[in-house]
Amino acid sequence: MEHAKTYLFVPGNAPHRFQHAVSCGADAVIFDLEDAVHPDEKNQARENIIQWDKNDTPVSEINCKRYIRLNKFDSVAFREDIEFLNKLNNKEKLRNNAKSRHKIVTWEIVLPKIESAEMLNDAREMINRNRLDNVNIIAIIETARGLHNAEEICAAGVERVAFGSLDFSLDIHCDQSLYALLYARSRIVLASRLADLPPPIDCVNPDFTHHDRVLADALHARSLGFSAKLCIHPSQIDAVQQAFATDRSKLDWAKQVLKAAEHSYAFQINGEMVDLPVIEQARQLLRAQNVDD
């Protein structure tokens, strides 16, 4: 099964954007209660989500996953988020108990500024309290301490991890250049692989007016091993999808490699040497796209 490539943020205090967000083509939408929402507006943002969820399009007609980004674990706002989740969860139970003994989970969780497996597990315990089953969690690594503990965070049972470059660069006093963020990005890719997670989600690009810049940034992330990207505006979706799409020529190359591999594990195609690791790369490429060998 192919994993989501585009994760679009929508501020919880902008309810007029909710319906467009879930219908604009993003693979996943993250309703934000954290950075995009002023402290004085967080309660209203929570209520906005509850009211929209009560009146939204039927789940079967929404073609994207829905997440809620909570506030930082050690904040008062996080405790208030837990109370909000319980209200949302109780409504979900009422909606679904006529069809099943177990509620249908339609909301997943994004946790910001996760710095250790212990923090993640403590947050998950509070989130899962009073639930009938566990909720999927995406952990955002966006501090020096979080990066230092990336391996244990990835191994702590998350659905996936994401990189938060803006807060990370603020924490370590670096800029947003490709070189400045290269180590952090590569470390997160490696940690995800060691934990057998899907490839991680790359950070947002604050530029939502220049398609080429977003495309170049996403292509760079893909070259490092990311397979998805956080988006802050619907205008970024096309560029990100383009960057992470597999073009026809690569699929044709992979099929050609596997056909030749039926007879030998060492050969050349188009003047390039092919051996077992390259054969496996071709196999993985086709498998990721659900294409028969």
Instruction: Sketch the domain layout of the chain as residue ranges.
Output: 6-245, 249-288
What is the pLDDT at residue 286? 80
Single-letter code of the amino acid located at 199? P
Q: What is the pTM of this model?
A: 0.85
- Burial environment of residue 244 by CB neighbours within 10 A (0 to 12, 13 to 18, 19 or more): buried
What is the pLDDT at residue 129? 80
**Could you give the C-alpha distances from 160 to 99, 137, 197, in angstroms and in order?**
30, 7, 6
**In 18-64, beta strands by DSSP E:** 28-32
Could you tell me which residues are annotated as the binding site for Mg(2+)?
142, 167
**Could you give the C-alpha distances from 253 to 224, 250, 257, 265, 284, in angstroms and in order?**
21, 5, 6, 16, 13
- CA 200 – CA 152 distance, rounded (Å): 15
What is the pLDDT at residue 65? 92
The third-level CATH classification (topology) of the domain covering 6-245 is TIM Barrel (3.20.20)
**Residue 247, CA atoms < 13 Å, CB-side half-sphere:** 4
Using 70 as the pLDDT threshold, list the residues of the chain that sit under it. 1-2, 56-62, 90-105, 130-133, 288-293
Structure tokens at 5: 């490539």
CA 244 to mean position of chain CA atoms: 13
Could you tell me which residues are annotated as the binding site?
69, 142, 167
Could you tell me which residues are annotated as the binding site for substrate?
69, 142
| Residue whose token pair is 């929404």 | 62
